């Protein structure tokens, strides 16, 4: 790394600028733009994510205070609150959404062989959503409840990494199960879903695509048992059954056989029942796979705590989606830097160091590898830390 560059500029060097320009051209991002480019907008909002800026006025004040360094940060246009607000409203959010997908593809290659606790050859995904509450008076397009607004982040997480593979941003009114209609099914992959996605017609689409799913059964689940396999009850397994669905509509939606597995979680003294179309993996592995679904919950918790996606710099739908996609891009960028520089520290630690060293002119590897830092641990959680 060039020691004459700021750490922020060195960090942005990990981004494929050519791919960014292709995204800009695809959606005519520079149509009638004279000075403040899409790249300037991206850098300003990436700076805001890395340094936890609260508002557009906050971004303007901080960057203008470092006015002599803006050129070295890569920002060529004049930074002002009105210019940023206009760019967030008018520039198509798909520019940043597609650019995030470019980085996601790179990150998935880097983390393809990352261990997530189970040794499986096929790709394993966890699908879930998180809700971000909004004020309906300020965000009238974000329909959710009668007097409440919200947006949902529906995320398909590759457990190797973990890296978000696909993200859908919808209003809070969109039910989780509808996202299964948008999902491109990868043959041979395994999808872990919670009970909110239990729709047998949609699950049968996964089955017909020669992919697998693991989900939990509801209490009113009606079935006809065909066969029971022997299980070792000393490790928590209760039963391993082959079943057919009962009920006129359910049996039509999923006419094939299903596997029903019972497991006793001794830590929480809770009885869990899983449904899957995979008949080859051991029953205990199926139970452990569903436990890995917690990784997507930890991903949501991490980005909400450490990135700016709960307070927004604009109220339009385009501004909200632009900010969320740039936040995802920053997350994936930090994950790429961690892997390419072979850093042992967590993403949280890297983000904290970057937040206070962006204007320093030292090699980025030196800043991230020689700074003594201890991660904060939350002892109240009984779940493993996702980013250790």
Q: Is the peptide bond before 49 cis (omega within 30 degrees of 0)?
A: no
Higher pLDDT, 70 or 339: 339
pLDDT digits (tens, 9 = 90+) for 340-363: 999 888 888 999 999 999 988 889
* Residue 4 to residue 362: CA distance in whole angstroms: 7
Q: Which residue has the tokens 């919200």?
A: 150
Please report, to the nearest 10 degrees, the dihedral formed by the alpha carbons of residues 312, 317, 318, 324 taken in order.
50
Q: Which residue has the tokens 């149509």?
A: 31
User: 38-51 and 94-110 helices cross at what angle (nearest 10)?
Assistant: 60
In terms of Cα–Cα distance, which of 115, 39, 107, 109 is closest to 76? 39
Residue 388 has pLDDT above 70, yes or no: no
* Residue 193 to residue 293: CA distance in whole angstroms: 8
Cβ–Cβ contacts within 10 Å for residue 217, how many? Answer: 18
Query: Residue 58 — pLDDT band, cuts 50, 70, 90?
Result: very high
pLDDT digits (tens, 9 = 90+) for 286-318: 999 998 888 899 899 999 988 888 889 999 999
Q: Which residue has the tokens 């669905």?
A: 245
165-186 per-residue burial string, b: 16 or more CB within 10 A, e: under 16: bbbebbbbebebeebbeebebb
**pLDDT at 311 (0 to 100):** 87
Residues recorded for the chain? 388
Q: Which DSSP string do the residues of 202-251 spell out, in sequence order?
A: HHHHHHHTT-EEEEE--TT--EEEEEEE---GGGTEEEEEEEEE-SHHHH
Single pTM value for the model: 0.89
Q: Which of 1-15, 108-122, 295-309 has the highest mean pLDDT?
A: 295-309
Structure tokens at 203: 């699950």
- Domains of the chain, with CATH numbers? 195-279 (2.20.25)
304 membership: H or E segment, kind and range: helix 294-306
Question: How far are the Cα atoms of 47, 219, 220, 327, 381 from residue 216, in angstroms, in the given order?
Answer: 41, 10, 12, 31, 23
């Amino acid at each position: 790394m060039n020691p004459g560059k700021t750490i922020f500029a060195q960090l942005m060097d990990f981004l494929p600028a050519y791919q960014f320009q292709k995204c800009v051209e695809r959606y005519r991002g520079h149509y009638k733009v004279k000075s403040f480019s899409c790249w300037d907008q991206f850098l300003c909002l990436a700076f805001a994510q890395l340094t936890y800026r609260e508002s557009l006025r906050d971004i303007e004040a901080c960057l203008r205070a470092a006015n002599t360094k803006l050129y070295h940060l890569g920002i060529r246009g004049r930074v002002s609150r009105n210019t940023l607000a206009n760019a967030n409203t008018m520039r198509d959010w798909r520019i940043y959404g597609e650019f995030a997908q470019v980085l996601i593809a790179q990150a998935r290659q880097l983390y393809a062989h990352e261990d997530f606790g189970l040794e499986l050859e096929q790709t394993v995904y966890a699908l879930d959503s998180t809700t971000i509450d909004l004020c309906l008076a300020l965000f009238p397009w974000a329909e959710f409840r009668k007097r409440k607004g919200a947006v949902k982040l529906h995320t398909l997480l590759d457990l190797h990494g973990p890296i978000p593979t696909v993200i859908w941003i919808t209003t809070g009114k969109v039910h989780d199960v509808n996202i299964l209609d948008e999902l491109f099914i990868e043959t041979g992959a395994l999808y872990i879903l919670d009970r909110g996605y239990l729709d047998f017609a949609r699950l049968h689409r996964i089955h017909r695509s020669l992919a697998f799913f693991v989900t939990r059964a509801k209490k009113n689940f009606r079935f006809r048992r065909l066969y029971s396999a022997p299980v070792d009850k000393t490790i928590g397994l209760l039963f391993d059954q082959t079943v057919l669905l009962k009920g006129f509509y359910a049996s039509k939606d999923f006419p094939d056989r299903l596997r029903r597995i019972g497991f006793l979680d001794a830590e929480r003294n809770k009885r869990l029942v899983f449904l899957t179309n995979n008949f080859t993996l051991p029953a205990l592995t199926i139970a452990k796979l569903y436990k890995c679904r917690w990784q997507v919950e930890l991903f949501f918790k991490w980005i909400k705590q450490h990135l700016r996606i709960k307070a927004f710099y604009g109220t339009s739908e385009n501004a909200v989606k632009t900010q969320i996609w740039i936040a995802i891009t920053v997350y994936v960028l930090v994950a790429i830097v961690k892997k390419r520089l072979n850093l042992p520290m967590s993403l949280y630690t890297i983000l904290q160091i970057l937040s206070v060293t962006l204007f320093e002119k030292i090699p980025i590897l030196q800043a991230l590898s020689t700074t003594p830092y201890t991660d904060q641990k939350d002892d109240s959680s009984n779940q493993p830390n996702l980013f250790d």
